[in-house]
Structure 1
Amino acid sequence: MAKYYATIAGLPNIGVDDRKLPIQTDALQAELRQELTKRDRRLLDLLLMEQEIPQILETINAWLSDDSIHWEDDPSEIELEPKEPLETIDAQELADYIIAVQQRTKRPRTKHLPDFIKEYIEMRLPDPELEEELEEE
């Protein structure tokens, strides 16, 4: 992790009694992104993702429960679009990963999709081998 002494020292002072903050969140994020290393920007994105998690999960659940999607089709023919734009992750990367999991093919390399999202997708899908075992019993 880089040392950001000058960046932190340059931030405005915020007091408990302040009614109006001297810097807006968007402006602070923009300023931080200019100073942060690539790795640290990714950590900032993970922190900001917390606010978007409900929307991401809603998008995943909607796609997985949509009966109009034919998962056995050619992946290039499957179109997945979120209802609302996702800010902290790439929607196409998310869609490609879900399609690969659904089709039981090799998972694509992902740059911006956190492991916990991948694990959630994997967990949401039924395991065909386990289902066969349950049917046999």
Structure 2
Amino acid sequence: MSKYYYLIAGLPNIALDDSKMTYSVSEFRQEIEGQLSKADRKLIDLFFLKYENGNVVSHVKYPDRDSDSRGRITYEEFNDLYKALKDEEKPPKNEHIPPYIEEFFKLYLAEEAKDVKGEKVYISWEDRLAALYYDYAMNCGNKFVADWFELNLNINNMLTAITCRKYGLDKSDYIIGHNEVAESIRTSNARDFGLGDTVDYLPEVQRIAEESDLMVREKKVDLLKWKWLDENTFFKTFDIESVFAYLLKLEMIERWVTLDKTTGEKTFREIVGAMKNGSENALEEFKRNNNK
């Protein structure tokens, strides 16, 4: 396993309440990728697939939308794969595109071919892709990275389920993924979803869910994750896990530095209003705003 003594020793200290960015996530990637082993670069690339995911959805749903520059797979690469699958031809080999994206395209094309007019579709395409991404990431072979993605999946599912309960919606229609926590949330009617003895951060998530101020709630979620990163890298000071954790922390800071508070609060009020009116799109919007 590679050690990154000089790289990590030279990184500036950062905190969640920093008002300025030390690096953007893109700048940090450029700074470190030449110093990492090939295997460790793949772990960092795994993080950046979240931006590729946004570009994938844009490709099939919003083709005129600009791509997120933090992704490196080109529109042409996506389009070559999508077109081959649509024409039922052999997909071109492309080591940059992970297999779950091909699986997503197949699902999308299969659904598109059906006559689904009038049917209720609760799980958005963004969430279907996210579920495939989480599953792919949780099988990356690095326990810390896999656990990080599972933590995010669990928190998002817990917050979604609590919101469903609050507004009388069927949580099983909105939970994504197939790990033990997701299955327990889908099937259990207990207040703790049957997770009280297995998920130690559930009480904190439940307290966070009671927070009505969007900005405060978002910050508490990030604090929970920041604490998890610190605890789980304590004995891995110079390993790739600490490099990965630093990247994740930079992303949190970048988001808070650039977040428009007025817009965030307005969006939250609109989401809650939609939920109270029974909108079918309410949970999709809620989860997009809580999917970090």
Q: Which residue of 2 aligns with 1:58?
A: 58
Q: Does 1:83 align with 2:82?
A: no
Query: Structure 2 CA distance, aligned partners of 1:83 and 1:32?
Result: 30
Give distance in 1, aligned partners of 2:110 and 2:37.
Answer: 39
Contact 1:102–1:125, Cα closer than 8 Å, also in 2: yes
- Alpha carbons of structure 1 residues 16 and 118: separation in structure 2 relative to 1, 3 Å: closer
Structure 1 runs not aligned, ≥5 long:
64-81, 132-137
Tell me what 1:20 maps to: 20
CA distance in 1, matches of 2:47, 2:10: 22
Distance across 1 between alignment mates of 2:43 and 2:20: 27
- Residues 16-67 of structure 1 show CA distances to partners (whole Å, capped at 9, x for unaligned) of 564334x22243222112212334333322212324523321212346xxxx
Alignment partner of 1:108 out of 92, 98, 119: 92
SS, match of residue 50 in structure 1 = helix
- Tell me the residue number matched to 2:228: none
Higher relative CO (CA 8 A, sep ≥ 6), structure 1 or 2? 2
User: What is the letter of the counterpart of residue 90 of structure 2?
Assistant: K
Rounded Cα–Cα distance in structure 2 between residues aligned with 1:16 and 1:108: 42
Q: Structure 1 residues 27, 106: closer, same or farther in 2, change over 3 A?
A: closer
Query: Which of these residues, 97, 107, 110, is aligned with residue 126 of structure 1?
Result: 110
* 2:33 alignment counterpart: 33
Match of 1:69 in 2: none
CA distance 1:40–1:112, shift in 2 (3 Å): same
Q: Cα–Cα, structure 1 residues 123 and 38, in superposed 2: closer, same or farther, change >3 Å?
A: same
User: What TM-score, normalized to structure 2?
Assistant: 0.33
Distance 1:20 1:104 in 2: 49
Q: Distance in 1 between matches of 2:108 and 2:30?
A: 35
1:111 Cα offset (Å): 1.4
Query: Which residue identity lines up with residue 31 of structure 1 in the other structure?
Result: E
Higher helix fraction (1 or 2)? 2
TM (norm. structure 1) is 0.63
Structure 1 pair 55–92 and aligned structure 2 pair: CA distance change class (3 A): closer
| SS of aligned partner of 1:83 | coil
Gap regions ≥5 residues in structure 2: 115-292
* 92-101 or 4-13, larger mean C-alpha shift: 4-13
Question: Would you say how many aligned residue pairs link Structure 1 and Structure 2?
Answer: 110
Partner SS for 1:14: coil
- Residue identity over aligned pairs, in percent, reads 31
Aligned amino acid, residue 108 of structure 1: P
Alignment RMSD: 2.8
The separation in 1 between residues aligned to 2:51 and 2:58, in whole angstroms, is 13
Contact 2:82/2:105 (8 A) holds in 1: yes
Q: Which residue identity does 2:66 align to in structure 1? A: E
Deviation at 1:110, TM superposition (A): 1.2
| Counterpart residue identity of residue 5, structure 1 | Y
